[in-house]
Amino acid sequence: MKISRFFRIVPLLLAGLFILFYSCEKEESTLDKDLQLLGSETKSNKKNKKADVCHNGRIINVSINALGAHQGHGDAIDLDGDGYFDIDNSCSETDCDDDDPNKNPGIEGSCDGEPGTAELLYGTWETTEIDINSYVGGQTLTDYLIEEVGLTQEEAEEQAELFEDSFIPEISGSLTINRDNTYDSAFAGGTDSGTWELSADEMTLTLFEGPDTIVITINSISESLWYATTSDDFLLVLYGVPVVPDVNVTVIANVVFAK
Ligand SMILES: [Ca+2]
Ligand SMILES: [Ca+2]
């Protein structure tokens, strides 16, 4: 992945050494594209004052004025237009809430009183805490700068902190997840928009902006707080020359969003 506007390449003056970190390619994620599109049918149904009825195993669209008669002889109806009928029937599973198209057996978690991850993601999130850590292999960047570059503990800590802190403004701001599978972000590093996908296990959100992708792990999410992690690798360059063999610096950002 390219980190795009989440992480911008940052030059770092390091104790007389000029170190540049370049984004390097990683394999693209292959994520489930199954996502829910909600609500549009409902609106048109209400406007036209018609609703679907499951009549002898067949779906018919009738005026809402005729619903009472159909219900009278045991037909199931779909008043919220989500494709799920209100009582036990042969056309669909039973709708748990026929007044709300966002609640039915097809939307995971929507019928047990707990909103699903996608439902929780919708809306505008503001970053409230950002913690950046960087690693070279199994070492922290600080340890690497001490052991491999020869800086003192104090110098290494200072430079690693400068490097890590440089990412914070880039990912401070807001991220809006829209129901039509688009997103808008407004970070200090720039505004952005594109599309999003949620993995089948609902633990990974991927943002697509043209050819760029940003993969965000959803550690936990509630109505008001979202704990997210994103990371990217950069190639270490010393004196303007890539270190040979390649040295990858992995930057991991733990972000708390609030809504
Ligand atoms: Ca329904
Ligand atoms: Ca429903």
> pLDDT digit string (tens) for 72-131?
989 999 999 999 999 999 999 999 999 889 889 998 878 887 778 988 999 999 999 999
Contact 91, 85 (CB under 8 A): yes
Contact 102, 112 (CB under 8 A): no
Radius of gyration of the chain (CA): 25
pLDDT > 90 fraction of the chain, expressed in percent and rounded: 54
Question: 42: helix, coil or strand?
Answer: helix
CATH of domain 12-34+120-258: 2.40.128
Q: What Cα–Cα distance (Å) separates residue 138 from each residue in 34, 84, 245, 250?
A: 36, 51, 16, 10
For residue 80, give the ligand nearest its CA: 1
> Which position has the higher pLDDT, 24 or 113?
113
Q: Measure 21 CA to ligand 2 centroid, in angstroms.
A: 50
* pLDDT at residue 119, rounded to an integer: 87
Alpha carbon distance 163, 58 (integer Å): 64
Determine phi and psi for 236, rounding to 5 degrees.
-85, 130
Ion ligand 2 residue ranges (Cβ < 5 Å): 80, 82, 95, 97, 103-104
Strand pairing report for 173-177 and 123-136: antiparallel
Q: Measure 178 CA to ligand 1 centroid, in angstroms.
A: 23
For residue 85, give the ligand nearest its CA: 1
pLDDT exceeds 60 at position 19: no
Pair of tokens at residue 29:
């994620």
pLDDT range class, residue 245, cuts 50, 70, 90: confident
201-213 residue pLDDT tens: 899 999 999 888 9
Buried b (16+ CB within 10 A) or exposed e, 99-125: ebbbbbeebeebbeeebbbbbbbeeeb
pLDDT exceeds 50 at position 34: no
For residue 86, give the ligand nearest its CA: 1
Averaged pLDDT for residues 22-26: 37
Alpha carbon distance 54, 35 (integer Å): 26
Helix (H) / strand (E) element for 205: namely strand 204-209
Q: Measure 170 CA to ligand 2 centroid, in angstroms.
A: 40
Pair of tokens at residue 77:
């109806």
Write down the domain spans for the chain.
Answer: 12-34+120-258, 40-106
Alpha carbon distance 152, 192 (integer Å): 40
Q: Measure 155 CA to ligand 2 centroid, in angstroms.
A: 60
Q: Measure 88 CA to ligand 1 centroid, in angstroms.
A: 12
For residue 92, give the ligand nearest its CA: 1
